[in-house]
Amino acid sequence: MTKKRILSRMLKSDLEEIARIEKVSKLGNKEELIKRLGKKVRLARIRHYYSAFSLKRREGKANILEHELVPPHRIMSEEEVMELKKKYGLKSLRTTTKDIG
């Protein structure tokens, strides 16, 4: 992926942070900033910044499986699986679209 393409995927605030670190002027719009960073910063460093900022953003997102209304999950024992299948007359616990419709 090219420098310009990677940089264009980033937020302007992230680009301004990179400009501050790399001692590049952060004035102007996003496109001007992308051009300046593309000229001054090596591709390997741009990739590093992209990974770091992407990871930082992902860490801030909530995991819906950890919500208080999600019941606890666990793997059932073979005996529990057999009991469940017998109780509900199931051949398998796997669901297909044929089973639903």
**Residues in Cβ contact with 70 at an 8 Å cutoff, skipping those fewer than 6 apart:** 64
> Exposed (0-12), middle (13-18) or buried (19+): which is 74, by Cβ within 10 Å?
exposed
Q: Do 25 and 19 touch, CB atoms closer than 8 A?
A: yes
Res 6: pLDDT: 92
76 pLDDT band, cuts 50/70/90, is confident
d(CA 58, CA 38) in angstroms, rounded, equals 25
Going by pLDDT thresholds of 50, 70 and 90, the confidence category of residue 46 is very high
pLDDT of res. 54: 81
41 within 8 A of 22, measured Cβ to Cβ: yes
Q: What single-letter DSSP state applies at residue 71?
A: P
Q: What is the CA radius of gyration of the chain?
A: 25
